[in-house]
């Protein structure tokens, strides 16, 4: 009914929208629900769309640590395509969970991932030394610019 009333005749768009609505409608999920979600997403006939839905799941902050690890393990068994996303979101989760941790900040700096480095540069708890390193060696111009601006504000 929703597919017919929307005017969009793409079944892939409808399925992807359903995945996104499911993710956004909750702040937790059981392990069984996550397993079913991954079964549907990874088994979708449109592989790229299904993989995108799985990556969206990986980004959910409401996953507990055991669930995040289980999702990562399932994605690693499925395709090496997910490796970069798993590394990225592992760094982002670590930063979110312990933003003042110097070791986590250093690993995030060393990750070479512009998305991770930007999140690091935006942290209130980022050390001046890490900001200086980002200003000089950030992998993308945006990261270097944010870090330089933040360093200037601290002076």
> Could you tell me the two tokens for 77?
């068994």
pLDDT at 45: 93
Q: Which residue has the higher pLDDT, 133 or 153?
A: 133
How many CB atoms sit inside 10 A of residue 74's CB? Answer: 17
Q: How many CA atoms lie within 13 A of 62 on its CB side?
A: 12
Confidence class for position 153, pLDDT limits 50, 70, 90: confident
12: Cβ contacts below 8 Å, ≥ 6 apart: 46, 49
Query: How far apart, in whole angstroms, are the C-alpha atoms of residue 59 and residue 7?
Result: 30
Rg, Å, the chain Cα set? 19
The pTM assigned to this predicted structure is 0.86
pLDDT digits (tens, 9 = 90+) for 80-131: 999 999 999 999 999 999 999 999 999 999 999 999 999 999 999 999 999 9
pLDDT at 3: 47
pLDDT digits (tens, 9 = 90+) for 56-88: 999 999 999 999 999 999 999 999 999 999 999
Domain boundaries, the chain: 1-78, 82-155
HEC string of 47-109 equals: HHHHHHHHHHHHCCCCCCHHHHHHHHHHHHHHCHHHHHHHHHHHHHHHHHHCCCCHHHHHHHH
Where b means 16+ CB within 10 Å and e means fewer, 4-43 reads: eeeeeeeeeeebbeebeebbeeeeebeeeebeebbebbbe
Query: How far apart, in whole angstroms, are the C-alpha atoms of residue 52 and residue 16?
Result: 9
Length of the chain: 155
């Amino acid at each position: 009914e929703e597919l017919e009333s929307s005017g969009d005749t793409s079944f892939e768009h409808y399925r992807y929208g359903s995945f996104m609505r499911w993710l956004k409608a909750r702040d937790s999920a059981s392990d069984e629900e996550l397993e079913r979600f991954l079964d549907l997403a990874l088994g979708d006939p449109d592989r790229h769309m299904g993989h995108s839905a799985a990556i969206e799941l990986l980004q959910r902050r409401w996953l507990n640590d055991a669930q995040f690890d289980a999702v990562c393990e399932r994605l690693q068994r499925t395709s090496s395509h997910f490796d970069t996303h798993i590394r990225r979101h592992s760094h982002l989760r670590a930063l979110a969970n312990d933003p003042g941790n110097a070791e986590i900040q250093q690993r995030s700096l060393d990750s070479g991932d512009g998305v991770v480095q930007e999140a690091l540069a935006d942290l209130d708890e980022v050390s001046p030394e890490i900001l200086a390193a980002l200003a000089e060696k950030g992998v993308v111009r945006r990261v270097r610019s944010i870090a330089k601006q933040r360093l200037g504000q601290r002076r």
